Amino acid sequence: MDDTKFPAFPALVRAVSAPKTKPEYLDELHTFVDMFCGIGGFHQAAASFGMKCVFASDIDEEARKTYAHNFGIVPVGDISRIRAEDVPDHDLFCAGFPCQPFSIIGKRQGFSDMRGTLFFEIIRILKVKRPKAVLLENVKQLKTADKGAIIARMTKELRDLDYCVDSKILNALDYGLPQKRERVLIVATLAPFDKFPWPKGDKPMKPLSEILEKKPDGKFFVSDRIRKSRLATHKSEFKPSIWHENKSGNISSYPYSCALRAGASYNYLLVNGERRLTPREMHRLQGFPDSFEIISTDSQARKQAGNAVPVPLVVAGIEGILNAIRSSETSRRSKSA
């Protein structure tokens, strides 16, 4: 990969416009960096709070192109080649670091997998930049990987940098998306907290009918053979529904989607048992608005959506961080009064 196409910061940055309205406590966090940024789930969420992205990084060239097209900032490449000193100062450090070492789909080798060591690239940068807050995301299996030893090590590494740390598994279904996608969020703040104020996951699920396109292209429909085979083995009580085929070949259906996967078979998820999800539908299932432009091929868009973080989960994490900082500052002021 030729990283000369993606010049070193700061030449690559163009300001991101902020929404007209901001939470009244936004003054605590103004800027963020977006590591392992993918197509920008973290960016979409943080920008909705009026924050400005000052640096982004991802090793995938196609994802970088999509990110640059939508957010006006070109991510640099391999994080291991970025000097911590070259990362601009920032308030919030965001990273959806690679999940394959901990995923149920992968071999679950944890830190013995080279990709697992990318967490320590995060620590390397945090040691130098010391942002006010950190928000990390990974698959839920991280919580139990190596009987909890891996997340315990990560927590210790962050606490050794004087961060107050908490983690929790959140499900996109509980935050308004019709997708069962469980992810662990790790939050860390320099502001102390006794109990992290996780937002309640009580948002009503958007109906699947609002996600699905009315007239999808015919290329997304499966063959008659596959359709008849599915209908012969399963009857759904939901309409519309997304049919899910597990690794054993068993079919189930729900009024929501099971987790999108970048490397799943084309027929892993089928709408009403007859067609694949379109790229726009997959992005909607991850919480991206229709204003987000899909510029890649269908296969790349499918991969990018499957690797993305659900935007509402990041919003929940940021809300919690902002509330924790605000509560800590209020407590500090009352004690000094």
Unique residue bearing structure tokens 């740390």: 165
Verify cis geometry, omega within 30 degrees of 0, for the bond prior to 240: yes
d(CA 294, CA 268): 22
* Residue among 267, 272, 211, 213 at smallest CA distance from 241: 272
99 assigned to active site: yes
Handedness of CA 163, 189, 96, 212 (dihedral sign): positive
d(CA 324, CA 196): 6
Unique residue bearing structure tokens 């048992």: 273
Residue 133: HSE in the Cβ half-sphere, 13 Å Cα cutoff: 28
* Residue among 126, 136, 92, 142 at smallest CA distance from 309: 136
Q: How far is CA 113 from the centre of its chain?
A: 21
- How do 257-258 and 179-180 pair as beta strands? parallel
Which residue in the list 37, 53, 94, 99 is annotated as catalytic? 99
* Residue among 114, 70, 73 at smallest CA distance from 90: 73
Q: Which two tokens stand for residue 291?
A: 């204003």
Q: Which two tokens stand for residue 231?
A: 């209908």
* Positions marked active-site: 99
